[in-house]
């Protein structure tokens, strides 16, 4: 997979994570701030409730306080010896006061002995001793103490009804002595009914506490007469006499964790508490959050689904693209093989001819060792070898798989050379003509691909003319500077027209002939890959191809290639007329092939060198250690055993500085590496003249060797 594809898949992964993480983070934030908001609201609400309850309690206590003061005044106005006689009158007064105050259960006036002087309930008063009750006893020895709030008690009189707590005050004689107590029995019910009304919601909590933690009344109503554990959260705060505040804690009474607000009543030893069940606060928050989830979860799931889908689609798309690329590569390879097959047919034929020339000439030489006939045979052998060399080089260049390697070439010269190749590849009943092969029309293309394309066009023309005919290759130039040309191309172009006068192409088929594997030829004759290669090459080179055809008359393919204004790379090295070694000069030849070694030794001897021959790299290195005065080393690259000529050249470069090396090779994978390393390469087979030029070059540029 390509990096770009991997990148976009990675991007999709990121989007996927974002699609999950962003909603989660947002939701987390919303939940957190929602929780705080719920908490704040609960706080405001309990504080408000507490304030209402505390207002109410304050009023009640003030009313009671006033009633007690009133009773005290009434009793004080009566001389103590008249009191028993005026009990009915007092009773009526007390009864009247209680009737006006719903929070009061009863009102009592006690004498110093703990017996009732008068009360609002019974007349005459019961003859009971109340001096053990807290509301009475607490006043005896504490003259300073004003208002006393008692525990929640059970009435002593069997018929006196519900539980109560008392509020009492000491009665003082004119001289300040203890004269008794005025006591009000309060109904916790009264507070609880009020708390029921203002704390109707689930989880609401209200309580009236004495400042030491005794619970006087509470909502929800439960067993009264409980006292808060001083270790409990609220109990410990009350112990510090804190005026008011808000806290969270678990109630030791019912085990519920609550948020509570408390406040002390001004002037009275009483606290009012309002609270709210934490579980209820959380439940409300949860319900609110649920609303968000109801929308958020399906939206997020949908989003993630869409991204996953896109991801799967993209991956499938990329897999397909990769598969297609592989298929295209395979197709290109098949196209090459097909053209190679076409080419080798011609080459083999040509090669056999050359071998015949060489063999025949050698036989002639055996008969006539001297004279003009011998010279003629030698010339023929020379020519044949040169042509064979050119042929094998072409084959090698073609067989080497490589990507488009553009070179600037002059088409006039190139096509003239190509004609030579064609003459060998096509049948003798096909006459090849060239037109317009003028110099100066250059293109920058891969020459190997161009050769395959032209060969494909020529072979198609041959097949279209089973009984022979004319094949015309014409070179022209066209400019589409003013308007677009065929296929939308623009600019300056060179056009190669390949025409035949064969069978032509059916109009219906004309659109299909460029498709890969489209062929009208019988199996074994055509693969349908020729024109698709030509088309691919033309497009890749920035040009296009056009076809004109008339059934029965012939076909013309026009190959448009962008014209190049670049200058041609000079390929021919300067020639030096002759070279003769200085007397006594020595050369080291490394070659594993006996015949080649013989020829090379012959060449070197002719050039005036004394030759030492090594069969392999090890031997050569040994010789180099013993003899120091070689002019240069000529070595084959491919050699049996571990070390190659390239290894030898590198060793020489590092250990025998200044000693030039020429590397010879027929065809080797390592030739490219040798060229990159800056060694002089001599292509096999080489002639005396090329060898001479190579020697001149390395002797002239020893610095290149030590690069
Ligand atoms: P192949 O030669 O293997 O059939 P090509 O792609 O080279 O595949 O050609 C595709 C088809 O186009 C041929 O089968 C033939 O029908 C048609 N064609 C190509 N060139 C010519 C031509 N010069 N004259 C007539 N028909 C041609
Ligand atoms: Mg073909």
Can you tell me the distance from the alpha carbon of 340 to that of 363, in angstroms, rounded to the nearest whole number?
A: 34
Can you tell me the distance from the alpha carbon of 165 to that of 187, in angstroms, rounded to the nearest whole number?
A: 7
Residues with Cβ within 8 Å of 323's Cβ and at least 6 positions away in sequence, in order, are none
**Cβ(157)–Cβ(108) below 8 Å:** no
Ligand 1 atom closest to the CA of 514, numbered from 1: 6
Can you tell me the distance from the alpha carbon of 300 to that of 23, in angstroms, rounded to the nearest whole number?
A: 7
Of 513, 532, 536, the residue with max ligand 1 atoms within 8 A of its CB, to mutate for a pocket test, comes to 513
Q: Is 601 in the pocket of ligand 1 (CB under 6 A)?
A: no
Helices and strands in the chain: count of H runs, count of E runs = 16, 22
Q: Is 527 in the pocket of ligand 1 (CB under 6 A)?
A: yes
Q: Which ligand is nearest to the CA of 499?
A: 1
- The pLDDT score that the predictor gives to residue 571 is 40
Q: Does pLDDT of 159 surpass 80?
A: no
- The pLDDT score that the predictor gives to residue 223 is 55
Report how far apart, in Å, the C-alpha atoms of 130 and of each of 127, 178, 707 are: 9, 15, 126
Q: Is 502 in the pocket of ligand 1 (CB under 6 A)?
A: yes
Q: Which ligand is nearest to the CA of 550?
A: 1
**Cβ(690)–Cβ(382) below 8 Å:** no
Q: Is 500 in the pocket of ligand 1 (CB under 6 A)?
A: yes
The pair phi, psi for residue 76, each rounded to 5°, is -60, -30
**Cβ(536)–Cβ(336) below 8 Å:** no
- The pLDDT score that the predictor gives to residue 575 is 42
* Bond preceding residue 685 cis, omega within 30 of 0: yes
Summarised one tens digit per residue, pLDDT across range 575-628 is 445 677 788 889 999 998 888 888 889 889 888 899 999 999 999 999 999 888
Residues with CB under 5 A from ligand 2 (ion): 460, 530
Q: Is 455 in the pocket of ligand 1 (CB under 6 A)?
A: no
Can you tell me the distance from the alpha carbon of 489 to that of 478, in angstroms, rounded to the nearest whole number?
A: 11
Sign of CA dihedral 169, 170, 173, 174: negative
The full 3-state SS of 622-688, as one line of letters, equals HHHHHCCCEEEEEEECCCCCCCCHHHHHHHHHHHCCCCCEEEEECCCCCHHHHHHCCCEEEECCCCH
Work out the pLDDT band at 400, boundaries 50, 70, 90.
low
- Of 150-159, 338-347, 381-390, the range with the lowest mean pLDDT is 338-347
Helix axes 278-367, 447-464, angle to 10 degrees: 70
- Placement of tokens 């006061």 in the chain: 97
Angle of CA points 671, 677, 682, to nearest 5°: 45
User: What's CA 160's distance to the chain center, in Å?
Assistant: 83
What is the percent of the chain where pLDDT is above 70?
Answer: 92
Can you tell me the distance from the alpha carbon of 352 to that of 493, in angstroms, rounded to the nearest whole number?
A: 40
The two tokens of residue 604 are: 């070197």
Q: Is 521 in the pocket of ligand 1 (CB under 6 A)?
A: yes
Burial of 652 (0-12, 13-18, 19+ CB in 10 A): buried
Summarised one tens digit per residue, pLDDT across range 229-284 is 888 888 888 888 888 999 998 887 788 899 999 999 988 989 999 999 989 889 98
DSSP 563: B
Q: Does pLDDT of 403 surpass 50?
A: no
Burial of 436 (0-12, 13-18, 19+ CB in 10 A): middle
The pair phi, psi for residue 25, each rounded to 5°, is -65, -45
The two tokens of residue 212 are: 């030491």
Which of 160, 152, 147, 228 shows the shortest CA–CA distance to 186?
152
Q: Is 513 in the pocket of ligand 1 (CB under 6 A)?
A: yes
Q: Is 465 in the pocket of ligand 1 (CB under 6 A)?
A: no
The two tokens of residue 694 are: 């190579």
Q: What's the chain's Rg over C-alpha atoms?
A: 60
Report how far apart, in Å, the C-alpha atoms of 254 and of each of 220, 228, 245, 251, 486 are: 10, 11, 21, 6, 94
Strand partners, 361: none
- Of 62-66, 212-216, 473-477, 544-548, the range with the lowest mean pLDDT is 212-216
Work out the pLDDT band at 574, boundaries 50, 70, 90.
very low
Can you tell me the distance from the alpha carbon of 566 to that of 569, in angstroms, rounded to the nearest whole number?
A: 9
pTM: 0.48
- Of 39-48, 102-111, 186-195, 219-228, the range with the lowest mean pLDDT is 219-228
Edge-first strand order for the sheet with 204-210 is 215-219, 204-210, 270-277, 257-264, 244-250
Sign of CA dihedral 143, 147, 148, 153: positive
- The pLDDT score that the predictor gives to residue 623 is 92
Can you tell me the distance from the alpha carbon of 310 to that of 316, in angstroms, rounded to the nearest whole number?
A: 10
**Cβ(561)–Cβ(494) below 8 Å:** yes
- The pLDDT score that the predictor gives to residue 590 is 94
The two tokens of residue 16 are: 């996927």
Q: Which ligand is nearest to the CA of 498?
A: 1
Report how far apart, in Å, the C-alpha atoms of 215 and of each of 195, 223, 273, 380, 416 are: 14, 10, 10, 133, 120
Residues with Cβ within 8 Å of 229's Cβ and at least 6 positions away in sequence, in order, are 213, 235, 252
Report how far apart, in Å, the C-alpha atoms of 36 and of each of 288, 363, 390, 555, 591 are: 13, 111, 90, 86, 91
Cβ-based neighbour number of residue 208 at 10 Å: 28
Ligand 1 atom closest to the CA of 456, numbered from 1: 7
The two tokens of residue 521 are: 């030829």
- The pLDDT score that the predictor gives to residue 572 is 38
Query: 519 alpha carbon to ligand 1 midpoint, in Å?
Result: 6
Q: Is 460 in the pocket of ligand 1 (CB under 6 A)?
A: yes
Question: Which residue minimizes the CA distance to atom 21 of ligand 1?
Answer: 460
Burial of 309 (0-12, 13-18, 19+ CB in 10 A): exposed
More confident residue, 421 or 490: 490
Q: Is 8 in the pocket of ligand 1 (CB under 6 A)?
A: no
Can you tell me the distance from the alpha carbon of 242 to that of 263, in angstroms, rounded to the nearest whole number?
A: 8
- Placement of tokens 């997979």 in the chain: 1
What is the percent of the chain where pLDDT is above 90?
Answer: 34
The two tokens of residue 668 are: 């080797």
């Amino acid at each position: 997979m390509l990096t770009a594809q991997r990148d976009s898949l990675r991007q999709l992964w990121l989007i996927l994570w974002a699609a999950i993480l962003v909603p989660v983070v947002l939701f987390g934030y919303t939940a957190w701030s929602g929780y705080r908001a719920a908490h704040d609201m609960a706080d405001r609400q309990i504080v408000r409730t507490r304030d209402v309850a505390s207002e109410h309690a304050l009023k009640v206590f003030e009313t009671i306080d006033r009633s007690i003061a009133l009773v005290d005044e009434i009793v004080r106005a009566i001389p103590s010896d008249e009191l028993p006689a005026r009990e009915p009158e007092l009773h009526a007064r007390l009864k009247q006061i209680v009737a006006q105050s719903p929070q009061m259960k009863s009102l009592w006036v006690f004498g110093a002995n703990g017996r009732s002087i008068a009360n609002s309930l019974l007349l005459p008063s019961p003859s009971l001793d109340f001096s053990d009750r807290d509301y009475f006893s607490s006043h005896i020895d504490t003259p300073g103490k004003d208002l006393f709030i008692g525990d929640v008690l059970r009435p002593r009189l069997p018929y006196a009804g519900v539980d109560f707590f008392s509020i009492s005050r000491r009665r003082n004689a004119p001289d300040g002595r203890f004269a008794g107590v005025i006591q009000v029995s309060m109904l916790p019910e009264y507070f609880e009914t009020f708390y029921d009304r203002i704390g109707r919601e689930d989880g609401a909590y209200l309580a009236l506490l004495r400042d030491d933690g005794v619970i006087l009344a509470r909502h929800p109503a439960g067993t009264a007469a409980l006292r808060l554990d001083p270790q409990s959260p609220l109990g410990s705060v009350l112990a510090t006499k804190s005026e008011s505040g808000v806290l969270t804690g678990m109630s030791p009474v019912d085990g519920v964790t609550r948020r509570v607000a408390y406040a002390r009543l001004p002037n009275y030893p009483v606290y009012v508490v309002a609270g709210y069940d934490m579980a209820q606060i959380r439940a409300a928050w949860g319900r609110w959050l649920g609303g968000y989830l109801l929308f958020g979860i399906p939206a997020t799931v949908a989003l993630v689904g869409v991204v996953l889908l896109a991801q799967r689609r993209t991956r499938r798309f990329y897999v397909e693209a990769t598969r297609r690329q592989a298929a295209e590569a395979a197709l290109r390879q098949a196209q090459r093989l097909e053209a190679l097959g076409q080419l080798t047919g011609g080459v083999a034929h040509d090669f056999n001819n050359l071998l015949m020339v060489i063999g025949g000439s050698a036989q002639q030489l055996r008969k006539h060792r001297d004279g003009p006939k011998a010279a003629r045979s030698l010339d023929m052998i020379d020519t044949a070898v040169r042509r064979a060399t050119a042929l094998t080089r072409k084959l090698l260049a073609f067989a080497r798989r490589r990507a488009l390697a553009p070179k600037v070439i002059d088409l006039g010269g190139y096509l003239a050379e190509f004609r030579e190749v064609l003459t060998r590849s096509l049948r003798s009943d096909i006459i090849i003509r060239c037109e317009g092969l003028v110099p100066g029309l250059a293109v920058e293309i891969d020459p190997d691909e161009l050769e395959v394309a032209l060969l494909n066009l020529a072979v198609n023309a041959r097949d279209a003319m089973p009984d022979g005919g004319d094949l015309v290759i014409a070179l022209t130039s066209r400019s589409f500077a003013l308007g677009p040309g065929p296929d939308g191309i623009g600019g300056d172009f060179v056009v190669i027209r390949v025409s035949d006068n064969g069978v032509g192409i059916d109009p219906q088929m004309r659109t299909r002939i460029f498709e890969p594997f489209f062929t009208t030829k019988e199996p074994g004759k055509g693969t349908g890959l020729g024109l698709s290669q030509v088309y691919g090459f033309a497009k890749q080179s920035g040009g296009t191809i056009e076809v004109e055809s008339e059934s029965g008359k012939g076909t013309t393919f026009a190959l448009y290639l962008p014209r190049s204004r670049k200058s041609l790379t000079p390929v021919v090295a300067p020639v030096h007329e002759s070279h003769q070694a200085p007397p006594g000069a020595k050369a080291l030849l490394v070659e594993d092939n006996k015949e080649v070694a013989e020829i090379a030794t012959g060449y070197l001897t002719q050039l005036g060198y004394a030759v030492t021959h090594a069969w392999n790299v090890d031997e050569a290195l040994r010789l180099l250690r013993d003899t120091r005065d070689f002019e240069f080393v000529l070595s084959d690259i491919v050699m049996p055993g571990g070390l190659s000529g390239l290894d030898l050249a590198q060793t020489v470069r590092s250990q025998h500085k200044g000693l030039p090396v020429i590397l010879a090779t027929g065809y080797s994978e390592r030739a490219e590496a040798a060229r990159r390393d800056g060694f002089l390469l001599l292509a096999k087979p080489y002639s005396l003249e090329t060898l001479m030029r190579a020697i001149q070059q390395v002797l002239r540029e020893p610095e290149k060797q030590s690069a």
